[in-house]
Amino acid sequence: MNFLVLHVRNYSFKDDNDRTVEGATVTYLDLTNEPEKGERGFAPLSISVTPDQTADFTAVPGLYYLQFRQGRGAKGRPRLIFHGATFRQRVNFDLSSSPTAAPTA
């Protein structure tokens, strides 16, 4: 399924047992989701990925085909597991050349 990936942020920290935890957070939009009652627009979603998986995100922001699998989470509840990304198209949010851009002072 295609998603608009907005942001990829790496992290590295020590946990309570002094072990290093590394990964990244990917923030994306599912443009097919209907807003819930009382909402407008698209609510951002986030998923954690391994440091190696960040290499899949070559141009951000961009449209990507994201692959997920389901895994067993707490109390047997399903949880999404990121499985891979395929770049589809670059997205440009540069509004400086937009005819509706606000005038500069």
Q: Tokens representing 105?
A: 């002072």
CATH for the 2-90 domain, from 2.20.28, 1.10.150, 3.40.50, 2.40.50: 2.40.50
Q: Can you tell me the mean pLDDT for 40-48?
A: 92
pLDDT at 99: 63
Q: In this predicted structure, what is the pLDDT of residue 105? A: 58
pLDDT, average across residues 16-41? 92
The domain locations on the chain are 2-90
For residues 18-28, average pLDDT: 96
The tens digit of pLDDT for each residue in 84-104 reads 999 999 998 877 765 665 666
How many C-beta atoms lie closer than 10 Å to residue 55's C-beta? Answer: 9
